[in-house]
Amino acid sequence: MSHISPVLWQFLVKWMTNFALYPPEASTIAPQMDALYFFMVLVSLIGLTIVILLIVSFSILYSRKRHPKAVQIEGSTLLEATWTIIPLGLFLIMFVWGALIYFRVFTPPANAMNIYVVGKQWMWKAEHPGGQHEINSLHIPVDQPIQLTLISQDVFHSFSIPAFRVKREAIPGRYTTVWFQATATGTYHLFCTQYCGTNHSAMIGDVVVLSADDYKKWLASSTSGDSLAQNGERLFASLSCAACHNTRPDARGPSLANVYGSKLTLSSGEQITADDAYLREAILNPSQHITQGYAPIMPTYQGQVSEEGVIALVEYIKHLDSDYRIQQTTTTTDLLPESQPTAKPAATKQAAQGKVNP
């Protein structure tokens, strides 16, 4: 092959060895989506072949040389109905098939492990329930459903894992969710696919799928010692939330024990379910979310708590399953000097470890 330029040759070799038409299938949804994708490719190819065959064969059969005089034809209702109904039918099959996959991708199973992801110019920050943080990478266990709760701290970003066929927009000011279950260990691309400014193309990272054992090792080696809920508890204390949200009979704020997932009646009479999005809104924009029977006295925490902080608080409130836990926190507040929010009595830690865990 001496007559081919070495650059070109290397190039071709590189291409042929890495040639792929689609990314690796590394999640449960990937083969399902690929099946639909290849069905659509097939339909497209057939459709394109028909159009090309019609053009080419008519061009040959009815060229002016062979067919000097055109025969005027008005149209044909039957033919036109055929090429209206058949494409419509095929499109409807794709619509239904696609919708089934779409609902699957955006309806997480109840047992999914939740990881929070905050997007910001230009990095992805993942917050694991065990308190592990990582930037521009995401470590997850194989064969376990993982739910991502995404939010952006500034502009729109989009969290895309091509190997999982999953993508979800991270939006400023609201949570979005997506879930997946990895089926093969390995390292896969993580992209930001929504244009987000200067370093958009640098907002990339790795999704590392680990076996159950490796994942445990990773968790142990990456932990900072506190779970996400514990971080939230500390924040809860340092922001003096428990000054009102305590369990005393004369409390100025409602008790937060078991509030997550419960139905609340707001002062406006509106009935809502307290989910992640509601809790976030109630912290940042409390005047719009007053529980019935309470005075609108809660100040906004907009600008005082980062999105990661809100996530920690939400995670803490999610795991508050008894008044006892809040009393523990209340005690913490009394003990804590405001200037040292990280210092923490050992008793609380034990209590937290006992009750609050992924």
Partner 1 sequence: MSTSTIVSLPDQSTARIPKMNYLTKENGLLSWLLTSDHKRIATLYLISITFFFFIGGALAGLIRLELLTPQSDLMAADTYNKVFTMHGVIMVFFFLVPSVPATLGNFFIPMMIGAKDLALPKINLLSWYLYIVAGFMAIFTMAAGGVDTGWTFTTPLSTHYLNTHVISTGLAIFVAGFSSIFTGLNFIVTIHKMRCPGMTWFRLPLFVWAHYAASILMVLGTPVLAITLVLVVLERTVHIGVFDPALGGDPLLFQHLFWFYSHPAVYIMILPGMGVISEVISTFSRKRVFGYTAVAFSSVAIAVFGFFVWAHHMFIMGISNYAALVFSLLTMLVAVPSAIKIFNWAFTLYKGSITFETPMLYAFGFMGLFTIGGMTGVFLGTTGTDIHLTETYFIVAHFHFVMVGGMLMAFLSGIHFWWPKWTGRMYPEKISQFAAVVTFIGFCFTFFPQFILGTLGMPRRYAAYPPEFQVLNVFSTAGATILGVGYLLPILYLTWSLKYGEIAGDNPWQATGLEWQTQSPPLTENFTELPIMDHEAYDYEWLENKQAKEVASVQ
Strand pairing category for 263-265 and 157-161: unpaired
Q: Is 7 in the site for partner 1 (CB under 8 A)?
A: no
164-171: long-range contacts at Cβ-Cβ below 8 A with a sequence spacing of 24 or more? 164/26, 164/27, 164/29, 164/30, 164/188, 164/207, 165/25, 165/27, 165/29, 165/30, 165/33, 165/34, 166/27, 166/29, 166/105, 167/193, 169/194, 170/117, 170/118, 170/119, 170/194
CB closer to partner 1 out of 77 and 342: 77
Name the minimum Å distance from CB 71 to partner 1: 4
Range 8-47, binding partner 1 (CB under 8 A): 11, 14-15, 18, 20-23, 33, 36-37, 40, 43-44, 47
- For the record, the structure tokens of 81 come out as 């109905």
What sign does the CA torsion over 215, 221, 224, 225 have? positive
Name the minimum Å distance from CB 353 to partner 1: 35
Q: Is 263 in the site for partner 1 (CB under 8 A)?
A: no
Among the listed residues 59, 221, 340, 342, the single contact to partner 1 using CB under 8 A: 59
Among the listed residues 6, 75, 249, 354, the single contact to partner 1 using CB under 8 A: 75
207 closest CA partner among 148, 130, 285: 148
Nearest 5°: phi and psi at 73?
Answer: -130, 130
User: Interface with partner 1 by CB under 8 A: which range of 103-111, 137-145, 215-223, 244-252?
Assistant: 103-111
Segment (H or E) for 119: strand 113-120
- For the record, the structure tokens of 6 come out as 């070495």
Name the minimum Å distance from CB 152 to partner 1: 9
- Give the max Cα distance, the chain: 100
CB closer to partner 1 out of 88 and 295: 88
Range 171-210, binding partner 1 (CB under 8 A): 171-174, 176, 189, 191-202, 204
Among the listed residues 97, 133, 266, 305, the single contact to partner 1 using CB under 8 A: 97
Name the minimum Å distance from CB 79 to partner 1: 7
Range 114-173, binding partner 1 (CB under 8 A): 121, 154-156, 158, 160, 162-163, 165-169, 171-173
In one letter, which amino acid is 79?
L
Range 288-317, binding partner 1 (CB under 8 A): 302
Among the listed residues 55, 220, 243, 347, the single contact to partner 1 using CB under 8 A: 55
- In this structure, the chain runs to a length of 358
